Amino acid sequence: MVTALVFDCDGVLADTERHGHLPAFNATFERFGLPAHWSEKEYGEKLRIGGGKERMASLFDDPAFAAAVGDSDRTEKLVTWHKAKTAAFKKLVAEGRIPTRPGIARIIRAALAEGWTVAVASTSAEESVRAVLENAIGPNQVPVFAGDIVPAKKPDPAIYQLTIDRLGLSPSDTLVIEDSRNGLLSATGAGLKCLVTVNGYTRDEDFSEATLVVSELGDPGRPPIEVLANRAAARIGDFITLDDLRACLGGRE
């Protein structure tokens, strides 16, 4: 059996939302003199919208914002703003301001050593995703499916369906690692099992469809991970192992 492991990026590979995307959005708003600044709470609400350009587009829902910046050439403005935001985000990654989440490098390297197929599937900008991935495991050959290569963002299953098709994967042998309900619904909508590693923004979301829900993947020497839900045959120790991931694909006990 060739097992496949597909990672989301934001909130999974790194806590990018709080430490990367939010400050990058706000820096972009300031750079262009836009009458906007998102607090952590406001950004948590924006995370219900899939995609960075789409979150920026929601600014126009406020009539005062639309009147201040003008509603003409909206598409062109969004492309310009988002390009600047992506550059700001990549700068934060390069400066080491967005640390990789525990267990990510360990699990990816172990899976590759075992001959597993490993990929990243995200509807965030491809440049941003590749920057986070390289920061996590260095220069690599892990395939990345990201950006506007699908017509609909998560929770639509399109990005995972594309990944499965392009890599020729068997859905029954493929496990997705996500961090949000939108990501979970995207994965299960594509017929894939999903392990969820929560973060501060998503911890209280509904993950009823997830095979396993944990606080993080963990690493030796760190405090034991917290298991929030286990619907698999996995017997979790202090950190997630490849055997635990195999158990997630094996179904319930």
Q: In what order do the strands lie in the sheet with 193-197?
A: 144-145, 117-121, 4-7, 174-178, 193-197, 212-214, 227-230
Active-site positions read 8, 10
Q: At CB < 8 A and 24+ separation, what contacts does 102-106 make?
A: 102/216, 102/217, 102/218, 102/219, 102/222, 102/239, 103/216, 103/217, 103/218, 103/219, 103/239, 103/240, 104/7, 104/12, 104/13, 104/14, 104/136, 104/137, 104/217, 105/136, 105/137, 106/217, 106/219
Residue 186 phi/psi, 5° resolution?
-65, -45
